[in-house]
Structure 1
Amino acid sequence: MPERKPRKDAARNREAVLAAADALFARGTSPEDITMADIAAEAGVGKGTLFRAYGDRSGLLRALYEARLEPVTDAVESGPAPLGPGTPAQERVPALLDAVLCFKLDNRRLALALEGSGSGSPYQAEHYERWHGLLRSVLEQIPGLTDGDFTAHALLAAVRADLVEYLAGQEGLPRERMRAQLADFAARVMAGAASGS
């Protein structure tokens, strides 16, 4: 039996839903206030369409997050320096963290909504596991670094969505200063971890 292709209207609905959710999160001030009903109304589809396609609000957030993250993921998996796999680990770690930070700065409300959904723990989210695994594998290439697992967790804590929102929103820390501070922090953590101190 031939594989069924998604109907054209289903693909069109998906694009409309993701665009609507994207617009609502960009405009909104509180990610928790954006409901499935809001997104369905903005997209011009029924709520049932959303629930059939995404299961629940968390599923929709994950789909939107993944769609937004796709260019970064592609660059990490097969792109050129500094993100791509051919880059030395000492350069790749800060570049990966910078990419995550910039992504979260550009998608602050969406990142907050996703990290705050579901179990309430960003550490159990699929996207976190992916970033942690990648970062750990790169850290383990640094000579002398003995605990890539914990070091990856510690470095990713610096780009949690709630911290990024606090620093950018509440503290008004400029983007370039945040990026420079993160790069400095990553360099110090890697140096300390590699020296065993």
Structure 2
Amino acid sequence: MSAAPAERADAARNRRKILDAALRIMAGDGAAQISLDTVAKEADVGVGTVYRRFGDRAGLVFALLEDREQRFRTQLEEGPPPLGPGAPAGRRLRAFLHALVDLVVEQRELLLLAEASSPPARYTSAPYAAQHAHVAALLRELRPDADADADTLADLLLAPFAPSLIDHQLRQRDVGTDRIKAALGELADALARRP
């Protein structure tokens, strides 16, 4: 099989300019203010370039999420333990769940936009697929006896990261990220214990 063609240098530069412009708008005015027109103006590119590249606002939102997810994956694959390789699966699972709380909180506005624009797309997005694969692999290592259930358990462990639930816990219940992480740590520890 041949590899996918590499992105042209000018296309890669434009993509980066557009994503950086969207991040600036989000930092200044909030994610709700992101539109393809305002991003094109901020990036100093034609609006057609943004439409061709991302299709619509949801496409741009998912591209922003995937951009941050790629950096997160690098931490998982190459970073220091316990988030990165080299720690026992139980410690890595706990570290992953804690880091994922921080990631969801950091991107909460974008995730809520993505969830509102296309709820089922969350489960078919590249970031979710990568997170699911990571958790399922850790579960298989941690509990070889539960190999057949690893994919289902991974979905269930990732379910609390629905942006609307995290937002509800932070805003309505006034639960801090430390309490969320502690509860998720208890779930990870319970899975690590043999029945």
The bucket for the TM-score relative to the shorter chain is 0.7 to 0.9
Shift, 1:93, TM fit = 0.8
Q: How many Å separate the matches in 2 of 1:66 and 1:121?
A: 13
Residues 58 and 117 in structure 1, CA contact (< 8 A), matched pair in contact too: yes
Structure 2 counterpart of 1:75: 75
Instruction: Report the CA distance shift for 1:74/1:35 in structure 2 as closer, same or farther (over 3 A).
Output: same
Structure 1 counterpart of 2:174: 172
Instruction: Report the CA distance shift for 1:5/1:173 in structure 2 as closer, same or farther (over 3 A).
Output: same
Higher mean Cα deviation, 45-54 or 18-27? 18-27
Shift, 1:106, TM fit = 1.2
Structure 1 counterpart of 2:9: 6
Instruction: Report the CA distance shift for 1:162/1:27 in structure 2 as closer, same or farther (over 3 A).
Output: farther
Instruction: Report the CA distance shift for 1:57/1:140 in structure 2 as closer, same or farther (over 3 A).
Output: same
Q: Aligned pairs, how many? A: 188
Q: TM-score, normalised by structure 2?
A: 0.82
Q: How many Å separate the matches in 1 of 2:160 and 2:7?
A: 44
Structure 2 counterpart of 1:135: 135
Question: Deviating runs (4+, > 4 A) in structure 1?
Answer: 27-30
Unaligned runs of 5+ in 2: 1-5
Q: Within the alignment, does 1:89 sit opposite 2:100 as a pair?
A: no
Q: 1:67-117 deviations in whole A, cap 9, x for unaligned?
A: 222332111112220112322111111111111111111111112223343
From the two aligned structures, give the one with the greater helix fraction: 2
Q: TM-score, normalised by structure 1?
A: 0.81
Unaligned runs of 5+ in 1: none
Instruction: Report the CA distance shift for 1:115/1:130 in structure 2 as closer, same or farther (over 3 A).
Output: farther
Sequence identity (%): 33
